[in-house]
Amino acid sequence: MSDLYDTDILEWSERQAALLRRIAEGERLAPHDSNELDWLHIAEEIEDVGREQRNAVESLLINILRHRLHIDAWPQAAAVPHWQHEIGVWQVQVERRLRQSPILRAEIGGELAGLYSDALRTTYREIDGVPRPPLSPECRWTLVEVLAEGFAGPPVVRPPQRPRKRRGPW
């Protein structure tokens, strides 16, 4: 069965799931069926599910922090409303994943400083010809603050722009 794991993960996973469901329903598997269970890879795949959730939350938090750093560094940039919107979208996604895995909330809160460091390393160096000002090397927010409504800053109010005149016959 390990060969199948290496050559066709989809077929492997479907077979493993079918065997596990049979056991869950109380069926005693025949020895040849029992030998089909690939316990080592099943355990690895279960661990991968948890790691995938953690990685997704970490990635979303890095994006949130990076966009907030961009807003702090360039508050007049035209992209600020876009950054604010994306922060809100990502906050919803993080909250949903944390509701599905409460233990992750406690664990990820302790890792926020490292995630902030990653966000800082990946911020733009300049926008619209304006170099990035110095940003704090230390994260000044808690997870609760990062996920709070309003973390992206107040809505940007810009004066309405006049419609552009069209040039050409179209």
- Using CA atoms, how far apart are residues 24 and 19, in angstroms rounded to an integer? 9
Q: What is the pTM of this model?
A: 0.79
Residue 48: the pLDDT is 92
The predicted pLDDT at position 164 comes to: 72
Residue type at 110 in one-letter notation: G
First to last CA, the chain: 64
Strand-pair category, 130-131 with 126-127: antiparallel
- At 31-42, the pLDDT tens digits run 888 888 999 999
Distance separating alpha carbons of residues 115 and 147, to the nearest angstrom: 14
Q: Consecutive 10-residue runs of the chain (170 residues): their mean pLDDT?
A: 85 93 92 89 92 95 98 94 97 96 91 97 93 95 96 81 70
**Mutual angle of helices 102-109 and 112-121, in 10-degree steps:** 70
Beta strands in the chain, from DSSP E residues, in sequence order: 126-127, 130-131
- The per-residue b/e assignment along 35-69, b for 16 or more CB within 10 angstroms, e otherwise, is eebbeebbeeeeeeeeeeebeebbebbbbbbbbbb
